[in-house]
Structure 1
Amino acid sequence: MTAMLEGRQVVVTGGTGALGQAVIDRLLAEGATCHVPSHRRPGSLDAAARERLHVVPDIDLTDQAATDRFFDGVPGLWASVHLAGGFGMGRIADSERDDFTRLMQMNALTVFLCSRAAVRNMRRTGQGGRIVNVSARPGIEQRQGARMVAYGASKAAVAAITMALSEELKGDHILVNAIAPSTLDTEANRKAMPKADPAKWLSTEAAASAILQLIAPENTEMSGAVVPLYARA
């Protein structure tokens, strides 16, 4: 049986994080070739998978020229999955302009520049494609945003970019969607919140499965969705 993404070229930003590694594992298992802007290789892989994993170091995804060069080096891009970003929280009276700007750059600007470069690549092939962004629960639910004004705003911007871009690209057969997860069950989050119950958090595998469904060639209709993934919280 042919794998779902056999021969497909996929970019994964943030590919060495906990979610990124789960996504890359699924993509490689489905036959994709993954292109990852990063400083280190994700996980331990077998020899066959390593042949289909291309890690490009020292890419600043807030730099338009650097982002364009990276995407231009990917032949026949099918899908671009944008996981790169950051988190921050704090009361607004204790926050600074730089806190807001940093999160907007890490979350919204990187999605904007990567989407821009991905669309240019996909239009060259004329075969359509898939873009998946990552918003977050505080970006789409007001009541979840206490002490996360800057973070929530940056993730709300990701949701807005996703919906606007899906409309713009209808004629190009490029489908654009996003997931909006609640807290992910990662080692970093367990260390940061030792008193929390991780059984109520979303697994990275569940998030990776949702992303895989959105970039699958079998998805020929769904676009402009921001999919809530809230686990059992």
Structure 2
Amino acid sequence: MAKAFEGRHVAVTGGTGALGAAVVVLLLDEGATCHVPVNHGSAPANFAHAGHERVRIAGNVDLTDAEAVDAFYSGIPQLWASIHIAGGFAMAPIDQTQADDFSAMMDINAKTVFLCSRAAARAMLAAQNGGRIVNVAARAALEPRKGAGMVAYAASKAAVAAMTVALAEELKAADILVNAVAPSTLDTAVNRAAMPKADFSKWVSLEAAAEAIVHLASPINLVTSGVVASIYGRA
């Protein structure tokens, strides 16, 4: 039976991170060729798929730099989907949050999504073959009351959610479907180390989050667009 992504090229920003790697695994299983930008010369040593025949690592790509982003996307043939997982997290009480802290969150979370979405849309519009864009927002974007101490982070992820809905409307005539997921706490090693007393069983597994993302990016998804899907655990 044919695989959903057979012969299709997919960009995955943040593809060497915990969630990104889980997404890459599923995409490879479905036949995709994955294009993964990294900020250094090569993928980190713990990225197990760097040598896979259908993984293309692009080194020294600063996702906050428009020229670097455009150059990365110009090297992808027949782009089908662009999945934007790269981002960051920081928190502090508002009286201790500096202007530079706010700018940093907006750059790493919102600006990267804007630049990558713009480059992906340009490629898809030129090809006139449709496509899929999937962003990663956060629960704090949809429920900012749960974001105490996370004003800058919540604002940056809310921008991602708003861009998703606006882009979906703008690109729908070209059959480019744009969606996002908004996870609560993901079950990663970093989060477990940061919150060792938490009930990990209530968190969202990487596999479950990755499945939601890959479904939205798939050609099997024929109609869903403009959705910011809440993927919460039991917390």
What's the TM-score bracket when you normalise by the shorter of the two chains? over 0.9
Which residue does 1:184 correspond to in 2? 186
Task: Give the alignment partner of residue 228 of structure 1, picking from 224, 227, 230.
Answer: 230
Q: Is it true that 1:44 corresponds to 2:52 in the alignment? A: no
Residue type of the alignment partner of 2:77: P
Residue 10 of structure 2: SS of its match in structure 1?
A: strand
Distance 1:171 1:157 in 2: 23
> Relative to 1, partners in 2 of residues 1:215 and 1:101: Cα closer, same or farther, differing over 3 Å?
same
Unaligned runs of 5+ in 1: none
**Cα shift at 1:164:** 0.3
Contact 2:49 2:55 (8 Å CA) reproduced: no
Q: Is it true that 1:53 corresponds to 2:55 in the alignment? A: yes
**Cα shift at 1:18:** 0.3
Task: Give the alignment partner of residue 95 of structure 1, picking from 94, 97, 111.
Answer: 97
Task: Give the alignment partner of residue 143 of structure 2, picking from 118, 141, 144.
Answer: 141
Q: TM-score, normalising length from structure 2?
A: 0.96
List aligned pairs for 1:75-86, cutoff 5 A: 75-86=77-88
Which residue does 1:30 correspond to in 2? 30
Runs of 4+ in 1 over 4 A off after TM superposition: none
**Cα shift at 1:176:** 0.2
Distance 2:198 2:31 in 1: 37
Q: Is it true that 1:4 corresponds to 2:8 in the alignment? A: no
RMSD: 1.2
> Relative to 1, partners in 2 of residues 1:46 and 1:111: Cα closer, same or farther, differing over 3 Å?
closer
1:80-103 superposed Cα distances (whole Å, 9 cap, x missing partner) = 000000001110001100110000
1:23-63 superposed Cα distances (whole Å, 9 cap, x missing partner) = 0000000000000001415633497xx11000011100000
Distance 1:162 1:32 in 2: 23
Distance 1:160 1:74 in 2: 27
Deviates further, 134-143 or 76-85: 134-143
Which residue does 2:14 correspond to in 1? 14
Residue 169 of structure 1: SS of its match in structure 2?
A: helix
List aligned pairs for 1:56-67, cutoff 5 A: 56-67=58-69
**Cα shift at 1:10:** 0.1
Which residue does 1:197 correspond to in 2? 199
Residue type of the alignment partner of 2:36: V
Q: Is it true that 1:114 corresponds to 2:116 in the alignment? A: yes
Identity between Structure 1 and Structure 2 (%):
59
Distance 1:191 1:226 in 2: 28
Contact 2:4 2:219 (8 Å CA) reproduced: yes
Work out the number of aligned pairs and report it: 231
Q: Is it true that 1:209 corresponds to 2:211 in the alignment? A: yes
Q: TM-score, normalising length from structure 1?
A: 0.97
Which residue does 2:70 correspond to in 1? 68
Distance 1:85 1:54 in 2: 20
Distance 1:52 1:202 in 2: 28
Residue type of the alignment partner of 2:228: V
**Cα shift at 1:167:** 0.4
Unaligned runs of 5+ in 2: none
Residue type of the alignment partner of 1:15: G
